[in-house]
Amino acid sequence: MKKKDKKGFFMWSKHGLWIAAMLIVIILPFFFRSGFSRSMLSQIGIAIIFALSYNMLLGQAGLLSFGHAVFYGLGGFFTIHILNTVSNGVITIPLELLPLAGGFGAVIVGLVFGWLSTERAGTPFALISLGIGELIAASSLMFPSFFGGEQGISGDRMTVFALTGIRFGKQITIYYLIAFWAFLSIVLMYLLTQTPLGRLANAVRDNPERASFIGYNPHWVRTLQYALAAFFAGIAGGLFAVNYEIVTAETVGFIPSGNVLMMTYIGGVGHFFGPILGAVLVTFMQLSLANMTHAWLIYFGLLFIGMVIWAPSGIAGIIMLHEPVWKAKLMKRLIPSYALAVFPALILFLGTVMFIEISYHLSLSVDPTAPMHLFGIHFRAQSLFPWGITVFLILIGFGLLQRAIKRVRQSWGEVNLIMKKESS
């Protein structure tokens, strides 16, 4: 009885999460009214689909791809070509359904490339994806009639009729279109993980021999998973095309391929919602942090390396680590040690930011001799004083953090002990 109750509560909280997410998505643009932030939200929506589709490979099937943007970009090109055909009146497809063109185009290419490249997982797959990525990126400039050369292919979404009768001129309308597709894709990709194919992909990832013993050809499972991942990447690309009304060769290139890898990994590959967090964080960093500091690439690189070394399960992994503790109502035992760690972490963060900003100011800024300002304080980067503070902050922060981490470990040990006792 009690057990059932708990399950019911859990089910509700699960659905509640979906509903809450939907509500947030609907009301977000009312809080972010500027064109920039609405564009950023739209880009985040696209990135979420793209990152989740990537995790269908990396997280669910154990396939590390360096060329996933091939499908993102091709999806974009298919969509923009169809959009232009519709504009010319050759065929009639409502604007709302155009991203499907990207998805279906990508799934066909995905089946071919998937079959070719997934015979073996692991390094051979990674290298084939790298090679295919290079080939497509290079040929994107060789086939101007499809890729539009350097200029890319552009279109006008206003010339396409819309099923809902909305005029898709303003960013807000496109935001809701992207939100709709993102929500639909997230639900579909989530349901896919529950299907036999999704389970098989996991099995093939963990132990391909065993999977083939029970009668499933790992090659086929991987190919199907690959093609489906391509489908959703194609949808993301299609939304890109509708949003920006232009698709260029950069979308099939290495930068988006690397980006989606970083998003997914930073978010966490082990949990379904991980890539969503990663997509939000990374897109935000790329668009907003880059406005705050031109040294943002360094922060981004440090974040990525830090995640790889200390938190390979990503942000989602860190969050889910606390799920059993939360359920056992033991969070209050962890929080004091966390609170103790916040302060030194902040000091260390401050010191690192100062170190990077001052070095950057001296070396690469527009005018190194000008006084620099950081956190509202003006000072001369050339003098020794700020350097002294920086080194001091870093050392103190690092030292205190070491002690705090010890405390955190200690309280984790206690919590684990209690949980073990309770369960036994």
Partner 1 sequence: MFKKFVSVLMGVGLLLMMSSGVIAAETVKIGFLDPLSGPFANVGDAGYKHFKYAADMINAQGGDQRFEIVPFDSKLSVSESLIHLKNAIDQGIRFMTHGTGSNISGALIEAISKHNERNPDQQVLYLNYSAVDPALTNEGCSFWHFRFDSHSDMKLAAITDYIKDQKNIKKVYLINQDYVFGHAVRDASIAMLKAKRPDIEIAGDTLHPIGKVKDFSPYIAMIKASGADAVITGNFGSDMSLLVKAGKSAGLNVQYFTFYAGGIGSVPAIGEAGVGHVKQVTEWHNNLWFEENKPDDEKYFMGYNRKYGGEGKAPFFFLRIRTMMEMMDKAIKKAGSADAKNVAYALEGMTHKTPYGTVTMQASDHQLIQPLYISTLSNAGTKTVKYDVENTGFGWKTDKRIEADATAMPTTCKMEKPAR
Partner 2 sequence: MLEYIFFSTINSLLYGMLLFMLSSGLTLIFSMMGILNFAHASFFMLGAYFAYQISQFVGFWPGLVIAPLLVGVLGALVERYGLRSVHKHGHVAELLFTVGLAYLIEEIVMLIWGRNAVPYQIPNILDFALVNILGTDLSAYRVFMLVVSIGMFIFLFLVLTRSRIGLIIQAALTHPDGVSTLGHNVPGVFMLVFGGGSALAGLAGVIGGNYLITEPSMAAHLGPIVFVVIVVGGMGSLTGAFIASLLLGAIQTFAVGVQVSLSDLLALFGLTPEPSGLLKDFLRIQISHTGPILPYLFMVLMLIFRPKGLMGKRET
Positions that interact with partner 1 (CB under 8 A): 34-36, 38-40, 43, 138, 141-142, 144, 149-152, 154, 156, 158, 169-171, 240, 244-246, 248-251, 255, 286-287, 290-291, 294-297, 364, 366-368
Burial class (CB in 10 A: 0-12, 13-18, 19+), 229: buried
Task: Check binding of 304 to partner 2 (CB under 8 A).
Answer: yes
Report CA-CA distances (Å) from 383 to 336, 360, 372.
39, 15, 11
Residue 159 CA, distance from chain mean position: 32
163/362 with CB nearer partner 2 = 362
Task: Check binding of 158 to partner 2 (CB under 8 A).
Answer: no
Distance CA 385, CA 81 (A): 59
Distance CA 194, CA 14 (A): 15
362/391 with CB nearer partner 2 = 362
Distance CA 344, CA 185 (A): 41
Torsion (CA) 414, 417, 422, 424 in degrees, nearest 10: 180
Q: Least CB distance from residue 113 to partner 2, whole Å?
A: 10
Angle at 357 between CA 353 and CA 360, to 5 degrees: 140
| Dihedral sign, Cα of residue 43, residue 77, residue 68, residue 296 | negative
Distance CA 85, CA 158 (A): 13
164/363 with CB nearer partner 2 = 363
Q: Least CB distance from residue 141 to partner 1, whole Å?
A: 5
Site string for partner 2, 116-145 (x = CB under 8 A): xx-xx-xxx-xxx-xxx-xx--xx--xxxx
Q: Least CB distance from residue 295 to partner 2, whole Å?
A: 8
Residue 308 binding: pick among partner 2, partner 1, none (C-beta 5-8 Å cut-off by kind): partner 2
Q: Least CB distance from residue 129 to partner 2, whole Å?
A: 9
* Strand boundaries in 114-208, DSSP class E: 153-154
| Contacts (CB under 8 A) with partner 2, residues 356-385 | 359-360, 363-364
| Dihedral sign, Cα of residue 188, residue 44, residue 302, residue 252 | positive
119/156 with CB nearer partner 2 = 119
Residue 145 binding: pick among partner 1, partner 2, none (C-beta 5-8 Å cut-off by kind): partner 2
With CB under 8 A as the contact rule, the residue among 41, 153, 201, 261 that binds partner 2 is 261
Binding footprint of partner 2 on the chain (CB under 8 A): 58, 64, 116-117, 119-120, 122-124, 126-128, 130-132, 134-135, 138-139, 142-146, 258, 261, 265, 297-298, 300-302, 304-305, 308-309, 312, 359-360, 363-364
